Amino acid sequence: MNLEKRRIILRLLKEKTTRRWMSTFTFLVCILFLLIFLSLLVESTLLLSKYSLKELLFSSKWNPEKYSFGFLPAIIGTIYVTILSMVLATPIAVLSAIYISEFASSQKRILISSFIDILAGIPSVVFGVCALLVLVPLVSNYIGPLIGVETTGMCIFTASLVLSVMVLPVIISLSTESLKSLPVELREASLSLGATKWETIKKVLLKGAAPGIFSAILLGFGRAFGETMAVAMVIGGKNQIPSSPFSAGQTLPSLIVSSFGEMMSIPIEQSALAFAALQLFFVVTIFNFLARWIKIKLKKRWGV
């Protein structure tokens, strides 16, 4: 009897400790987020104490060796590249998602999905190398002359092309998920009222899956925003406000990756790079919260 009691107590104890362990770990992950934010903030203080936020964010002169740190070209370059790549990728991704969830036979679906998953798993440096060897000459020798601009191929446009390929899998798989999760009754009801398949998709399914698709696009945005290696290899690393999509530029991540190893020992430059990282961190965080919020809002509105 006594033995039985001990066994029960031990089991309950185990139960308690495992739960505590799990909650501690989960909590630690959340703390990590704050720690990263704080450490970047601390690292940036040196720069922020010497320059006003206004001149950092709105001056376009970046020359660390002469102690001028203007982030404007990199900020504009980042926005430019991100938006251009999303404009290229979003329509393709959404249409692909519709095809996969509504039209493709199950065999095709499995085949396509596995290819898309592979695309998502390819390291970004591989994309960068491919872009440098294939896209850059393509843009400078064919696409540029076709449009009638002179370009070296190392430019905003090329970087956007690479990025659009890289964010495709993210948007496609998430959009497919939200289309698939719609109840069959929706489709059946719409079709039984005499709507064609395309009308059903356009008027019913896309509306129903909108919150999911929207947050997929925003997550793609976040991914494009922070992509580093592939962009750094083809953007041309020029700290000036780009005059056209075919001129070289710079993004915040490429700025960080191209000067970090060399300049770590100069406190002010290290601080400047930490500040660039802080800006990225800030924007990506906002984007993630925005994606969540929009999803919730839309769900409420359409009652899906």
Partner 1 sequence: MNNKWVRFILILLFLSGCKSGREERREIRVSGAWALYPMMLVWAEEYGKVSGVKVEVAGGGAGKGVSDVLSGQVDIGMVSRPIREEEIKEGAFYVAVTKDAVVATINSKNPIIKEIYKRGLTKEELRKIFMGEIKEWGEIVGKELKDDKIIIYGRSDASGAAQVWAEFLGNYTQGDCKEKAHANFDGDQAVALAVSREKNSIGFNNLNYAYNIETGSFAEGIRPVPIDLNENGTLDPDEDFYSNREKFVYNVSIGKYPSPPARFEYLVSKGPFKGEAKKFVEWILNEGQKFIEESGYIKLSPEKLQEEIETLNRGRRK
Q: How far apart are CA 49 and CA 42, in angstroms?
A: 11
Rounded alpha-carbon distances, angstroms, from residue 235 to 10, 153, 230, 244, 285: 61, 9, 9, 13, 25
Residue 72 vs 205, nearer CB to partner 1: 72
Stretch that binds partner 1, among 33-41, 80-88, 197-205, 231-239 (CB under 8 A): 231-239
Binders in 131-190 for partner 1, by CB under 8 A? 132, 137, 140, 150, 152-155
Of 46, 48, 59, 64, the one binding partner 1 (CB under 8 A) is 64
* Least distance between partner 1 and beta carbon 233 (Å): 6
Q: How far apart are CA 40 and CA 274, in angstroms?
A: 6
Stretch that binds partner 1, among 112-120, 216-224, 254-262, 289-297 (CB under 8 A): 254-262
Q: How far apart are CA 216 and CA 208, in angstroms?
A: 14
Query: Contact between 66 and partner 1 (CB under 8 A)?
Result: yes
Q: How far apart are CA 289 and CA 303, in angstroms?
A: 21
DSSP notation for 107-173: HHHHHHHHHHHHHHHS-HHHHHHHIIIIIHHHIIIIIHHHHT----S-SHHHHHHHHHHHHHHHHHH
DSSP notation for 171-222: HHHHHHHHHHTS-HHHHHHHHHTT--HHHIIIIIIHHHHHHHHHHHHHHHHH
Query: Contact between 42 and partner 1 (CB under 8 A)?
Result: no
Which tokens go with 86?
Answer: 């999303």
Residue 190 vs 259, nearer CB to partner 1: 259
* Least distance between partner 1 and beta carbon 1 (Å): 23
* Least distance between partner 1 and beta carbon 235 (Å): 8
Residue 220 vs 236, nearer CB to partner 1: 236
* Least distance between partner 1 and beta carbon 30 (Å): 30
Which tokens go with 225?
Answer: 């925003």
Query: Contact between 241 and partner 1 (CB under 8 A)?
Result: no
Of 106, 243, 265, 303, the one binding partner 1 (CB under 8 A) is 265
Residue 161 vs 233, nearer CB to partner 1: 233
Question: What is the DSSP code (8-state) at residue 51?
Answer: S
Residue 32 vs 266, nearer CB to partner 1: 266
Of 44, 82, 228, 240, the one binding partner 1 (CB under 8 A) is 240
**Pick from 53, 42, 90, 91: nearest CA to 75:** 53
Stretch that binds partner 1, among 32-40, 45-53, 207-215, 227-235 (CB under 8 A): 227-235
Q: Which residues bind partner 1 (CB under 8 A)?
A: 62-66, 132, 137, 140, 150, 152-155, 232-233, 235-240, 248, 254, 258-270
